[in-house]
Chains A and B, each alone.
Chain A
């Protein structure tokens, strides 16, 4: 199955084409607050670089958050409009799962993203690219989130490490911190996780493909 994958949860915009779980082409660029201008031209370049036509894409995978609300909506609106226009399925993928999959670790991975306002979102995944979390997504101040995690060796990854690496190392002396290059979710991981769902026959109702928000809309301003 030819898959088009879109990742816009963080300032690293990323798009990829996959044949099942194999990467065919990928473009990842830091585009802080420029996702809207960047995304469609990037998709056009991506297809061109792989020599694929629009009609050859058979499914769309998209990151659904947590992450920046506006940029998530840009990715999801693009994915669902594309799927609607081409009559192909779309699969939403949790962004924390994409972070975990993109992190090289011997054992379990705690994917942790900075969701602003002094809070992080985190989930724990068994190593080896498992799609289902051992610990489901928790949101809150980093200290509280860390106290909710199971004991034992954990590799931490995700953009929350930019601000909270010291707190994590302080509260969990046995923690392994992933290198910065693995913190940001990429469309390659989104595509692989999307393929896992699609190959099981799963996909999203396009009318209900929305971001995973970490707080209420009136709290946001």
Chain B
């Protein structure tokens, strides 16, 4: 079964052709990051305008790279939330039009579910039950995955998403946007012990209080990092590298620690690390180390499948269709869609 995936939830216009939920025949991503950079974040109306300019060329490029035509497709899939509603609407409208005019099934996919299915593109025979940490510029969600499409959200962020905190600290340090990769790069030359930052959860444990919650909060550590930056007598290159390393270490420690406690309490042996921040080298290494120590198998997609892409959407759609699921032409777009909600009305 060959599925075309479409993703327009934020600032990437993406299309992909995936066969049987596991073979990526093409995956094209047109990033708008360069356009939003000077505003320090995504401008929704600008994103929507770029999506309608780029979507058809991106779809054509995906078909061409896969060596197929629209006639070779068996289904259409599209992200229908969560995300920017005006941006999502462009992809959903195009996908529905293609489904209607080609008489093909349509699957509306939850963006978070898409991120989780990037792990199945990496390891199709991934064993259940599993734990997924979805961590990006918009999300920090710990999710128990007992089977295909069986989700229970264990914890999410109360304020900033991890990637959002990276972006804001990077911006204050005068680094580029998006900030995650910049901090990651800078942190390699820094010493994480030089700039003292409060480590929210391990700190509490050392002090004797136990934080049992699987909820996240990154605004405190972000504020502490910004305060340290402003208080620094000389915020030179080495200071910034040390601050980046210290900030990154605290964030990664929290993500890894809560993930491992969740894995332990659920008794799962498979951990998926997905979403844009999963491209962070420190996070990947630390999660790998912790999983090995706990006897868990860690599945981390390559960076190209961690950041927003349409292959993950087509992959998620395959498993939904295989169970008889799908969406009807009344599919809408939602800024806020939880994993427990099935996108739109119909079936599984």
Contacts and interface: CB of A to CB of B under 8 A. Distances in A.
Interface of A: 36-37, 39-41, 43-44, 54, 69-70, 73-82, 84-86, 206-207, 210-211, 213, 217-218, 220-221
B241 interface: no
A217 B329 contact: no
Given A36-B331, A54-B103, 6 more contacts: A37-B331, A37-B332, A74-B90, A75-B93, A76-B52, A82-B100
Given A40-B329, A54-B103, A221-B45, A85 B70 contact: yes
A69 B86 contact: yes
B172 interface: no
A70 B51 CA distance: 12
B96 interface: yes
Interface in B60-89: 60, 70, 85-86, 89
A207 B102 CA distance: 20
Given A41-B330, A54-B100, A69-B45, A81 B92 contact: no
A79 B97 CA distance: 8
Contacts of B57: 207
Contacts of B70: 84-85
A8 to B, nearest CB: 9
Given A70-B86, A74-B89, A78-B93, A40 B45 contact: no
Contact of B97 (A70, A85, A211, A220): A85
B127 interface: no
Contacts of B97: 40, 77-79, 81-82, 85
A217 B43 contact: yes
Nearest to A53: B103
Interface of B: 39, 43-46, 48-49, 51-53, 55-57, 59-60, 70, 85-86, 89-103, 328-333
Given A77-B97, A218-B39, A85 B46 contact: no
A31 to B, nearest CB: 12
Contact of A207 (B48, B56, B96, B100): B56
Contacts of B94: 77-78, 80-81
Contacts of A213: 49
A74 B93 contact: yes
Contact of B93 (A41, A73, A84, A220): A73
Contacts of A82: 97-98, 100-101
